[in-house]
Structures are given as structure tokens and as C-alpha cells.
């Protein structure tokens, strides 16, 4: 009898140990690991310390200004929508330009873009300022003929004369193409978002649901953080699309910029912040939902076939990365 009791006691202790070894991490454990891998998004973007309210005000107006396109029908906001709490994208596979032309890549969000190592999918612009110069003169996008025509339109507007004077008071020639781009960049550096994941990282145990915590745990342990790291949770490196299993695309990605064959099909890793707002996904805009994107990334990049429950948990966590003013619920 005593032997049987002893054996039962050992079995119970064994079960207790096994259960504790497989138990889900506590919120405190998840938080500690998350802060090591990601960390909260800073309140300000690099370079914003040199921005002035007058420069941001000018940049905001320019961001929505359709005079910057040849036929005066398209602004930055046409492809990177911010009004009505939009996510800094147009939610089209590719964006429309002057004369009905369409670009060949999905429009990235302008939210938090200044935290990235470079701009555009292929990283061809090293800064927000340089990025702002591109679409205005691109024949498929805003299609302005040259910088002088852009400057002439702005100089003919008395409102812009005053705004540029306030934004660039020390410069003799205030209305320039370079200053236009600098002002737009200053405005875009204000587009820092705040989400529930950062609330969790800063100590709020109630910020994320049980399912969202499960999703966070999966993201941190299944390989996603080989690319999606840092406060922006991406945007800090280039990676081949179809690292393990080929992804069907004719776009050679960064190799078009570098002319280096080793960069074939490499693209800037997108940020996971606000991903729920920025469908459709990937450089070609051919993936409609977050859940579908999660499954494809697991397969193409990590050689993993994840089940429905795992997809749902990761998707739930990714939705928690939405800027709180933009996070509408049913």
C-alpha cells in the first residue's frame, strides 16, 4: 500500500514537472523577450529634432497638394491615404497615376516610414526627403516634366509664398524643389503610431488578449524575427522573397538598383506595424488578407506549414499592432 502511494506520488510529481515545462510563457516572460527583440516604437523619428512647426505645416499641405501632378489630379495622399484614419496606403494592388497609368509595385505605407533604413521596396531612396522627390517626376505617377515646373506652380501661389517663407526663413531662394521635399519629409516624420503592443511592452498586462499573446509567442519563436526585428518590426534589412520555396514574380527587386545578381528578388522587409490597415500585401499586392500573408510567409520564408489555430493567433497579434486611433472595431 505504501509502495503504491509512493508510486502515485512520483507520477503526480512527474506530471507537474512536465506540465510546467510546457506551460505557456507568462506575460512578464513574453514582455522581457519582446523588449529584447523589438522594443516600443520611439515617440519621434530620426531627424525630427530639426523640424519646425512651420515646416511641418507646409509639408502637410504639400502632401495633399494635387498641383504637384501634371494634370493636377494626384497628390501624395492619393496613393498614401491618411485622411479618415486610413493607413498611409490606397489598398490597391498597385497605384494609379496620371492618365490612368499604373505602377508595378504595391504602395508602402508612410506611417512610421522614417524608422526604415531606406525608402521604396528596393531601397533606392536613402531618406524620406529623397523619396518625396521621386513620384512627382515619375512619368507613371505624378508625371511633372521637371523641377522648374514644380517650383513655378508653387511660386505662383501666394499661400505657398508665405508658407515657404516661414518654413525656410534663413534661405534666400525659399521655394525650391529640394525645400518642397524637405517639408514633406518633415510632415511624414510626424506619422508615428501608437498601438496596444507598445502598451504591453511598457507594462500593461491587459493590453493584449490571450490569443494575441499566443500570437506574439509564435512570432518570437517560429523564425519571423530573423527579419521582423526592432521597434518598427521590419524595415531594417533586405530579404529574398521566396527564401526557401520560390515565390512567383518577375520583379528582380533590389538588383534593379544595385545591378548585383545576389540582390535578385530581394526587397526591403516591410514593417509589421499597422499591417492590418495596409492590404493587399507584398511588393506585388497579390495577397488579400493578413491571414493569407502569414501562411505564405511561413511557407516561402521559413519552410513551415502552420495550422489554422496558429494562423489565427498570429493574425490576432498582428491586428494589435494597429495605431489606436485607426483601430476601429465592429
- The verdict on pTM exceeding 0.75 is yes
pLDDT tens-place string over residues 224-233: 999 999 999 9
H/E stretch holding 55 reads: helix 53-63
pLDDT band at 142, cuts 50/70/90?
A: very high
**Spatial separation of the C-alpha atoms in residues 122 and 258, rounded to whole Å:** 9
- Mean pLDDT across 299-326: 98
Which pLDDT value is given to residue 328?
73
Q: With a cut of 80, say whether residue 167 has pLDDT above it.
A: yes
Which pLDDT value is given to residue 4?
44
pLDDT band at 329, cuts 50/70/90?
A: low
Domain with CATH 1.10.760.10 in the chain: 25-41+194-326, 48-188
Which pLDDT value is given to residue 1?
44
Burial environment of residue 291 by CB neighbours within 10 A (0 to 12, 13 to 18, 19 or more): middle
- Mean pLDDT across 176-204: 98
Which residues are tagged catalytic?
A: 141
Which pLDDT value is given to residue 24?
84
Which pLDDT value is given to residue 308?
97
Q: With a cut of 60, say whether residue 7 has pLDDT above it.
A: no
- Could you please state the CATH topology (level 3) that the domain comprising 48-188 is classified under: Cytochrome Bc1 Complex; Chain D, domain 2 (1.10.760)
pLDDT tens-place string over residues 188-199: 999 999 999 999
Choosing among 1.10.760.10, 3.40.50.720, 3.40.50.2300, 2.60.40.10, the CATH entry for 25-41+194-326 is 1.10.760.10
Q: With a cut of 50, say whether residue 11 has pLDDT above it.
A: no
Amino acid at each position: 500500500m505504501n509502495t503504491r502511494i509512493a508510486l502515485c506520488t512520483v507520477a503526480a510529481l512527474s506530471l507537474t514537472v512536465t506540465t510546467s515545462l510546457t506551460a505557456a510563457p507568462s506575460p512578464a516572460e513574453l514582455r522581457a523577450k519582446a523588449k529584447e527583440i523589438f522594443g516600443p516604437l520611439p515617440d519621434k523619428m530620426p531627424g525630427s529634432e530639426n523640424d519646425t512647426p512651420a515646416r511641418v505645416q507646409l509639408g502637410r499641405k504639400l502632401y495633399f497638394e494635387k498641383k504637384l501632378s501634371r494634370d493636377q489630379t494626384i497628390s501624395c495622399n492619393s496613393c498614401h491615404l491618411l485622411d479618415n484614419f486610413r493607413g498611409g496606403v490606397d489598398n490597391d494592388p498597385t497605384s494609379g497615376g496620371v492618365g490612368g497609368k499604373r505602377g508595378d509595385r504595391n504602395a508602402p505605407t508612410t506611417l512610421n516610414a522614417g524608422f526604415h533604413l531606406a525608402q521604396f521596396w528596393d531601397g533606392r531612396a536613402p531618406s524620406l526627403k529623397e523619396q518625396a522627390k521621386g513620384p512627382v517626376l515619375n512619368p507613371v505617377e505624378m508625371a511633372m516634366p521637371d523641377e522648374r515646373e514644380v517650383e513655378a506652380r508653387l511660386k505662383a501661389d501666394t499661400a505657398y509664398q508665405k508658407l515657404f517663407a516661414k518654413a525656410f526663413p534663413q534661405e534666400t531662394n525659399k521655394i525650391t524643389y529640394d525645400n518642397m521635399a524637405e517639408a514633406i519629409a518633415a510632415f511624414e516624420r510626424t506619422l508615428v503610431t501608437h498601438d496596444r503592443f507598445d502598451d504591453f511592452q511598457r507594462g500593461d498586462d491587459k493590453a493584449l488578449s490571450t490569443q494575441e499573446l499566443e500570437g506574439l509567442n509564435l512570432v518570437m519563436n517560429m523564425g519571423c524575427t530573423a527579419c521582423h526585428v526592432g521597434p518598427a518590426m521590419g524595415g531594417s534589412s533586405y530579404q529574398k522573397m521566396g527564401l526557401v520555396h520560390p515565390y512567383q514574380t518577375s520583379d528582380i527587386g533590389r538588383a534593379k538598383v544595385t545591378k548585383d545578381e545576389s540582390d535578385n528578388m530581394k526587397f526591403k522587409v516591410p514593417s509589421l506595424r499597422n499591417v492590418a490597415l495596409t492590404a493587399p500585401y507584398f511588393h506585388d499586392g497579390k495577397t488579400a488578407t493578413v491571414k493569407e500573408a502569414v501562411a505564405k510567409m511561413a511557407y516561402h520564408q521559413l519552410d513551415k506549414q502552420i495550422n489554422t489555430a496558429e494562423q489565427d493567433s498570429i493574425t490576432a497579434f498582428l491586428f494589435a499592432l494597429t495605431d489606436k486611433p485607426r483601430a476601429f472595431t465592429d
